[in-house]
Amino acid sequence: MPLSQMKCERCGGMMPVRRRRGHLRKKNHIKTMWCPWCKRVTPHRERF
C-alpha cells in the first residue's frame, strides 16, 4: 500500500496515511480529521 502524506492546514503537522492503489485521492484533497498536534479537528490537505 502506498503511503500518502496529510498536512494540517492549521499547524503544518505532517501525518502519514496508507491508501490502497485504487483509492488514492486527487491532488490537494481536503479531509477534516483529528490533528494530534493541535488537539482539535482541522482540515488536512493530501498530496499537496
Question: Please, what's the largest Cα pairwise distance for the chain?
Answer: 31
pLDDT by 10s per residue, the chain, length 48: 788 899 999 999 999 988 888 777 888 899 999 999 999 999 999 976
**The pLDDT of residue 3:** 83
| Pairwise CA distance, residues 30 & 32, whole Å | 7
